[in-house]
Amino acid sequence: MNTKNKTILLVDDDIDFLIQTEAVLKASGFDVIKAESQKEAEELLKTLKPDLAILDLMMEHFDGGFALAYHVKKVCPEAPVIICSAVANETGMSFDASTREERSWIKADLFLPKPIRHEQLLREINKLFEGK
């Protein structure tokens, strides 16, 4: 898959996850724009139109990732959204985006639990781009 000129918006308040994931994505040829909060990402979306977004679920607010996914889809309806979160480990609550109904209210194309292997993330990104 040609990753040249594909921009990924990466949003997470976990700085280690942000830095590590950014390095992996850049090494795979993606342009990466990162934000450390929902608010910062919403500001970026005023001028940025990413090809894909990877979002944390719990940032400033418990459901900040859901609100941000909705915002991404509003300004970039064709951009796939991946939510990566440790919410299941931290709260015992589980989320999924495997059915059309779940994707309709979650506004994400994929939900991946943390910790996530970078090979898995890259595989899922490629699948989402191939599906377009």
pLDDT at site 122: 97
On whether the CB atoms of residues 82 and 125 are closer than 8 A, the answer is yes
DSSP code at position 65: H
Can you tell me the mean pLDDT for 55-75?
A: 82
pLDDT at 91: 45
Under the banding of pLDDT at 50, 70 and 90, the label for residue 3 is low
In the chain, where are the structural domains located?
7-130
- The architecture that CATH gives domain 7-130 is 3-Layer(aba) Sandwich (3.40)
Predicted confidence at residue 32, as pLDDT, reads 98
- Which of 87 and 73 is assigned the larger pLDDT? 73
Report the pLDDT value the prediction gives residue 58, as an integer from 0 to 100: 74
d(CA 51, CA 6): 6
**Pairwise pLDDT comparison (48 vs 1), residue with the higher score:** 48
* 80-132 confidence digits (pLDDT tens): 999 988 764 444 455 554 555 544 546 688 888 888 999 999 999 999 999 76
Half-sphere exposure of 42 (CA within 13 A, CB side): 13
pLDDT in tens, 5-58: 899 999 999 999 999 999 999 999 999 999 999 999 999 999 999 999 999 887
Residues 6+ apart with CB under 8 A from 125: 8, 52, 82
Question: And the tokens for 77?
Answer: 């309806």
Q: What is the pTM of this model?
A: 0.84
